[in-house]
Structure 1
Amino acid sequence: MSLVLELKEKVLNGGELSRSEALALSQEPLEELMQAADEIRVKRCGSAFDLCTIVNGKCGRCSEDCKYCAQSSHYSTACAKVYPLLPTEELVSGAKSNDARGVLRYSIVTSGKRLSDSEVDRMCDSIRAIKRETSIAVCISFGLLNEAQFRRLKEAGATRVHCNLESSARYFPEVCTTHTYEEKLETLKAAKRAGLSLCSGGILGLGETMEDRIDLALTARNLGVASLPVNLLNPIPGTPYEHNRPLTSEEACRCVAVFRFLLPEAFIRLAGGRGLLKDKGEACFRSGANAAITGDMLTTAGISVETDQELLERLGYQLGAD
């Protein structure tokens, strides 16, 4: 029996892969790895596919120095938009539009290290309005908040918190120096204590190793994330990573497949950078991925809801979240 089949059976029987097993798995033949990961996805998750959109709820001039980000005030990029929190009416309008098209989740993302208490209050008002007028689930990405703030947001109707770890604890200081990995971990733990589900993953192509990618997935597993976003670096001119080489489809499929072995029941979500792939992620959706961000990203163009829905229907997925 090959290593891929051996580890697939271990996962399907309820076992968890170790770090060394995941590293060995990542070196196995790609086609066999993809097929086994998709089988794990089918048996542990069925045909459900979780589709979400994101809205840039507060844009630009972020104080943090994340080296991939077009909105960081530390770099000179083509992202010239700067605006405060969007008004409730605009957020509700976007939620209605996405709800009508069958999108399951609407995620409000804001720039900056964290929202202030007064901004959290405003977002609570907006979330309550969205929940009154739509059936869409509301996710939030408001930076490094505390448990009390998360509890207020949950009471307003938010169900999930997004806070990407970006990479491994070892590599994170190469990505950002204005906040720490420990702050991110505490943010996620505070959200979980407040009763919110977790969405946390990272970006591939920052210069990290396969070991870093596996350590990221293991940390996400230990946190109990429900959704693991897999971003592929879109090198933004003006950022320190502008000359990084984008990942190939084969590299992306290999990473997604290993992540499926490590988190057999999570929604593995193709996120930013998917449009750089010639097939828009189709091969990854046959390698264990079962969720995506659809529509435009925060500062870059994405893939239309209608295009994604046609692809998912062709692949045999059914829209449905946890």
Structure 2
Amino acid sequence: MKITAIDKLTDKIIAGLRIKRGDDLSYLLTAPLEELQEGARRLQDHFCGNHIDFCTIINGRSGRCGENCKYCAQAACHHTGIEEYSFLPKEEILRNAKANQDAGANRFAIVTSGRALAGADFDKAIDTYKAMHDKLTIGLCASHGLLTREQFKRLRAAGVTSYHHNIETSRRFFPQICTSHTYQDRIDTIKIAQEEGFCVCSGGIIGMGETWEDRLDMAISLAELGIESIPINALMAIPGTGLANRPALPAEDILRTIAIFRFINPAANIRLAAGRKLLPQNGATAFRAGASASITGNMLTTSGTTIKEDMALLRTLGLTNQNTTCTASCGTH
């Protein structure tokens, strides 16, 4: 059997090599997709075994966001008709978290609209996290924007162990999708979260008009940050947003991106997020070609796949969400 360049690279990564900025990565874009996916499968098997991590989210505060991210339905500058509401009651969030825990999810996150959660709403979030930490066993994640170090300390004290904060794209392309804050703002927030002991979940969106070089740059930047959970969202263009007319990415582009991210971040959880329904079998093939995690459930722009359906899918594929081997700490609780 012919040994390809991808086979050799896969062996080297398993032996300890890590792809770095400045390396020639053109072959990742030109290699046959099947070869790239097979290499990604081998890397996934080595670093994550048969474990698939499932996280769920609830939209804890919706709409009226003052930022101008072109992709986002919750930005006040867009007219999407999204439901608007203030921070949800603690009892409602707790009920949702318990249902997700009982269904088998590994982790539960509250996400909120806005540049940063602050004031009375942040106090409500802390109270809610404390209640979940006291009453439930599911891992807790938060996604509340550009927080301060003191806020991160309060989140940790309340029992939150993971923080989600995407870099979204490359540094070069970021100003094309947002000007109300900077790429560096996001990097600084991630570094503070890591310094305060959080496992950071950070990825981005593909299909916004960026180049393949932008996608490679994003993957390298996440590797340089030591990110352990990387959600890959394929843009689901929402009417009324600044990217409403962007065409959907072909499945082959999404699958190649997933495989590339596995090569550049071999030990991370590469997580399916928005756009799963654009993939064959709602992402089933991706779970054996680089993706070791997924957002699940019926929230936001994810696939709408229920946890029960995803658990059944894992059994069909011979996989499990009971972590025994994965080296990424964001895949545990």
In the superposition, the TM-score normalised over structure 2's length comes to 0.93
Q: How does 1:49-128 map to 2 (within 5 A)?
A: 49-79=52-82, 81-128=83-130
Secondary structure of 1:280 counterpart:
helix
CA positional deviation for 1:248:
1.5
Alpha-carbon distance in structure 1 between the residues aligned to 2:160 and 2:34? 39
- The residue number in structure 2 matching 1:25 is 28
Deviations 1:130-184 (A, max 9, x none): 1111100110000000111101101100010000110000000001110100000
Equivalent position to 2:163, from 161, 164, 167: 161
Deviations 1:239-282 (A, max 9, x none): 12111111121111101001001111111000012123342111
Alpha-carbon distance in structure 1 between the residues aligned to 2:302 and 2:163? 22
- The residue number in structure 1 matching 2:216 is 214
Residue pair 1:110, 1:141 contacting (<8 A) in 2 also: yes
Secondary structure of 2:30 counterpart:
coil
Residue pair 1:23, 1:210 contacting (<8 A) in 2 also: no
RMSD (Å), alpha carbons: 1.3
- The residue number in structure 2 matching 1:129 is 131
Deviations 1:1-59 (A, max 9, x none): 42211211111111011343433222100001101101110011111111011100000
Residue pair 2:80, 2:240 contacting (<8 A) in 1 also: yes
Comparing 239-248 with 186-195, greater Cα deviation is found at: 239-248
Q: How does 1:1-322 map to 2 (within 5 A)?
A: 1-19=3-21, 20-79=23-82, 81-298=83-300, 302-319=304-321, 320=323, 321-322=331-332
Alpha-carbon distance in structure 1 between the residues aligned to 2:308 and 2:49? 22
Unpaired segments ≥5 residues, structure 2 = 324-330
Q: How many residues align?
A: 321
Amino acid aligned to 1:52: C
Seen in structure 2, the aligned counterparts of structure 1 residues 300 and 259 have a Cα distance that, compared at 3 Å, is closer
Secondary structure of 1:57 counterpart:
strand
Alpha-carbon distance in structure 1 between the residues aligned to 2:160 and 2:258? 28
Amino acid aligned to 2:242: P
Unpaired segments ≥5 residues, structure 1 = none
Alpha-carbon distance in structure 2 between the residues aligned to 1:17 and 1:37? 14
Secondary structure of 1:65 counterpart:
coil
Secondary structure of 1:48 counterpart:
coil
Residue pair 2:295, 2:302 contacting (<8 A) in 1 also: no
Amino acid aligned to 1:256: I
CA positional deviation for 1:117:
3.8
Alpha-carbon distance in structure 2 between the residues aligned to 1:112 and 1:86? 15
Alpha-carbon distance in structure 2 between the residues aligned to 1:223 and 1:265? 13
Deviations 1:299-322 (A, max 9, x none): 666211111111111112111333
Alpha-carbon distance in structure 1 between the residues aligned to 2:285 and 2:142? 29
Amino acid aligned to 1:31: E
Amino acid aligned to 1:94: N
CA positional deviation for 1:297:
2.8
Amino acid aligned to 1:32: E
Amino acid aligned to 1:265: A
Alpha-carbon distance in structure 2 between the residues aligned to 1:44 and 1:309? 21
Identity %: 43
Alpha-carbon distance in structure 2 between the residues aligned to 1:279 and 1:248? 14
Secondary structure of 1:158 counterpart:
coil
Residue pair 1:146, 1:191 contacting (<8 A) in 2 also: no
